[in-house]
Structure 1
C-alpha cells in the first residue's frame, strides 16, 4: 500500500532510504512530498535561494529505474549556497556572484549524489557565510531571525522541506541557527567532511556539517558523506559520562539558555547518566581573541578579491575592514598557542564522554537585521572539536533553545552516540509537519 504524503513527511532520512531500497516507497513519491511541503511553506520562510524543481524529480525518476540504490537513496538534501553545484547557480549569498555557475560539484555534493541522495536546491546563506543577513525567516516565528550563516539550511529542515541540509561553520554558523530553529546541527571534527568546493573564509576553521531532524539522521548521513561508517548510530543503551561546562562567558547567556542547560543536566542525571561540573580553565577567555586573530587574518586574505567590490553589502565590507585589522603577528601567536590549548581541553575531558554546554545566548532574537552572537561556539570551532546541538527547551516567546554537546577531536562516533542517548532521554516533542 502506498504511503500518504503525511506519512512520507514523517519518515526519518534513514527510513526514506530504507523504504526506497526495499521498494516500499518510490523516490518520486518521496521527492514529490518534499516539493509539496516547499510549496506550502517557502513563501513565508524564504529558505531557498534556488530550487532544483524538475531536475530533482528527474533524479528521482532515474533512481526509481535503477536496480541498485545507494545508501542515501531518495533522501532530500538542501545545499548551502556557499557550496558549489555544477547544475545549479552558486551565488555565495552575494549580488557579486548572482547567477554564477561552477563547472563542478563540491566534494560533499558529489558524495551525496554518488549515494543517490536528491539535491532539492540551494539554501539561503548570509553573504559569504559571514555577518550580512539575507531573506530567511525563523520557521517558528517569521518575525525572528533563524540565525546565520546556515540560515536557509536550518529553516528548511525545521519546516520539513528538506531532511538533510549542508551547513558550514567558521564561528557558530551551524550550532547557533540549529538551536534557534529547533533542529539538530552537527559540526564534525575539522576536516571530517571534505570541504573542497566550498567558498573559503578561513582555511583552518571552515568546517562542513549537516542539519537534520534528529541525531541519528545526522550520523547516518555523515557516515556516508565522510566514508566513516562508525558515525552511524543505532540503539544506544549505555548512559554517557557528561561534563557540564558553563564557560567563562556564562553571564552573557540569557536565562532561557541557562535554564536549558540546568534542565538537561538534571534530567540526564535522573535518567542514569554520570553528570558532574567541570571548571573553566584559567585564561579560557584568551581563546576568543585567538579565534578573532585566526579568522581575521585568514578571511581578509581569502576574500581579498571581494573586499573592495561595490556589489558587496556595507555590512560585509565593514566586517572585512574589521577583520583586516588582525596582523600576521597576532595570527602567528594564536596558531603557536593552539596546540597546547587543544591538548589542555582534551585532557579536561578525561573521565567523560561528552561536554554539555550552551549552544546560543538564548532563543532567536526578534528582527532580521542580525543573526545572533556566536560567543558560545567560536572556541570549539577554533579547537577543531566535534559539536552537536540537541533541542532541549522553549524560551519565554515559545521559540526553541538547544544545548550543545562537545566531543574529543576525531572521536565523533562517541559524541554522536552520546548525543543520541541525550536526545532519547530529553524526548523533546518536535512537530516537523510544518511549523509556521
Structure 2
C-alpha cells in the first residue's frame, strides 16, 4: 500500500515502529496530489520542497508530539506564516500573514508537516465558491465551505486537514466526501488567526480517515480527558436517534443513512431510543441564521469599507444589515440558544449519545450549491461536539454520513464512543481495514 493511503493513526504507528519515514509519507502524498489534484482542485498552494525538507528534518529528531511527521492541510482562511492566506478572495491574492494562526502553531509544534492551503468558499462565508470538485464524482460539490480540506482527505492526498464550521461547513463536507470529521466543543480550540464570521458560532475542527485520526489531533489540542476515556462496549449503549425538527428537509439518501446506522447499532446490541426534541428547538435554525448574519455585520464591515466594489456583494449585504436584523431579534436568538443548551444537556440523563443526520443526502451537482446546512446549524449553535461518520452511498454512488453528538466538553467521551460505534456504522471502512 502506498503511504498516502494509510490513515494518520496507521502512519504514526509505522513511523514509531521504524517502518515508515515522514519523508516517504510526504513524498507519497505529493505524488498523489500531482496525479489527482489537476482534476480535484483541492489545493490553492502546496510547497512541495519545503514539506519534503521539513519531513527529512523531522526524521532526524525525537518525536515532537502526537502528530510527528504527519502531513496536514490548512483551510485557506486560516493564517500561515510561511504560505499565503488568500481567503479565496480576489482582494487578498498574495497576502502573507506575519505569523501562524494558533491552531496551525499547535499542530506544527506537535510535529505536523504543513503541506499546503486548501480551497474554500470566500472567507469561509459566501461570495466565490471553491474550484474544488468532489473526488467521487467531479460533477458534484465536495461541500462547503471546507471544500478543499474535505476533498483532499477524501481523495487520499493528505491524512489530516483543518475545516471550520459556522453553520455546517465542517460536518457536511465530511458526509459528502466519505470521511471522518470532528467539530469540537465551541471555544475549545483557539480561533486566533482564522478569519472570523460569527463569534458565537465559528469553530475550528479537523478531518481524518478514522476516529483514531481525530483523537490524535484532539490530543495535540489537549481536549479535556482525550485518551483517558475507555472505549465502551456497543452492547447496552443507549443511543438516541434524532430526526431533528427539520426532518421535512431530508432526502431519501439521508433518511436511508440514518435508518442503516440505527439498524446496524441495534443489531450490535445497542439500545435505540427515539429522541424528539422539545418545541423550543424548532426555532434553532432561524436563531442560528440570525446570529450568523448579525455577527457577520461586524466581521465584514472593515473589508466592505476598504474594498468597495472590488468585494462581492454578499459581504456588503452583511455589513449593511440587508436583512434588517434588530437588536431585539438578535437578543431573542441568543436567549433561545441559551435555553436550548440547558434543555439539551438535561436530556442526557436518559441516553449516552445522539445519532442524527450529517447532511440531507448526497452532495448536490455543480460547484455553486455547496449543500444545505439545515442538519448542522442547530448543533453548531448548541456549542456541542459533533463527530461525522461515513455510513453508506446514495443512488448516485456518492457518500452519505451521519453524526454523533455529545454534551459540551464531552469531546473525549464522544471520541471514545466514536471508536466503538464507527466500525458498526461504517462497515465499508471497517471491512477495508480488516482486509488490509
- TM-score category (smaller protein): over 0.9
Question: Closer, same or farther in 2 for the Cα pair 1:179/1:28, shift >3 Å?
Answer: same
Q: d(CA) in 2 for partners of 1:228 and 1:114?
A: 19
Among 241, 244, 252, which residue is 1:255 paired with? 252
| Contact 1:77/1:119, CA 8 A, preserved across alignment | yes
Report the aligned-residue RMSD.
2.0
Residue 243 of structure 1 aligns to a residue in which SS? strand
Among 283, 288, 291, which residue is 1:291 paired with? 288
Specify the alignment match of 2:145 in structure 1. 149
| Contact 2:119/2:132, CA 8 A, preserved across alignment | yes
Over 6 Å off, 4+ runs: none
- Which stretch shifts more, 254-263 or 275-284? 275-284
TM-score normalized by the length of structure 2: 0.93
Please state if 1:10 is matched with 2:11. Answer: no
Specify the alignment match of 1:329 in structure 2. 328
Q: d(CA) in 2 for partners of 1:216 and 1:355?
A: 20
Which structure 1 residue ranges, 5 or more long, are not aligned?
1-5
| Contact 1:300/1:323, CA 8 A, preserved across alignment | no
| Contact 2:297/2:318, CA 8 A, preserved across alignment | no
Following superposition, the deviation at residue 22 of structure 1 comes to: 3.8
Specify the alignment match of 1:165 in structure 2. 161
Q: d(CA) in 2 for partners of 1:319 and 1:402?
A: 32
Following superposition, the deviation at residue 111 of structure 1 comes to: 0.7
| Contact 1:295/1:323, CA 8 A, preserved across alignment | no
Alignment of 1:44-123 (within 5 A): 44-123=39-118
Among 38, 59, 67, which residue is 1:43 paired with? 38
Which structure 2 residue ranges, 5 or more long, are not aligned?
none
| Contact 2:294/2:321, CA 8 A, preserved across alignment | no
Alignment of 1:4-403 (within 5 A): 6-132=1-127, 133-226=129-222, 228=224, 230-231=226-227, 236-239=232-235, 240-307=237-304, 309=307, 310-318=309-317, 325-403=324-402
Specify the alignment match of 1:3 in structure 2. none
Q: d(CA) in 2 for partners of 1:91 and 1:355?
A: 37
Encode CA deviations 1:272-321: one digit per residue, 9 max, x unaligned. Answer: 11111011311322111211221111111111122353233345555666
Q: d(CA) in 2 for partners of 1:316 and 1:146?
A: 23
- Which stretch shifts more, 302-311 or 114-123? 302-311
Encode CA deviations 1:105-163: one digit per residue, 9 max, x unaligned. Answer: 01111111111110110000100101331200001000001110000000000001110
Encode CA deviations 1:411-432: one digit per residue, 9 max, x unaligned. Answer: 1112112222221112432499
| Contact 2:147/2:173, CA 8 A, preserved across alignment | yes
| Contact 1:215/1:419, CA 8 A, preserved across alignment | yes
| Contact 1:131/1:319, CA 8 A, preserved across alignment | no
Encode CA deviations 1:23-63: one digit per residue, 9 max, x unaligned. Answer: 32211111101111111110110000111211111110111
- Which stretch shifts more, 326-335 or 50-59? 326-335
Q: d(CA) in 1 for partners of 2:318 and 2:211?
A: 33
Question: Closer, same or farther in 2 for the Cα pair 1:222/1:103, shift >3 Å?
Answer: same
| Contact 1:183/1:390, CA 8 A, preserved across alignment | yes
- Which stretch shifts more, 71-80 or 282-291? 282-291
| Contact 1:215/1:416, CA 8 A, preserved across alignment | yes
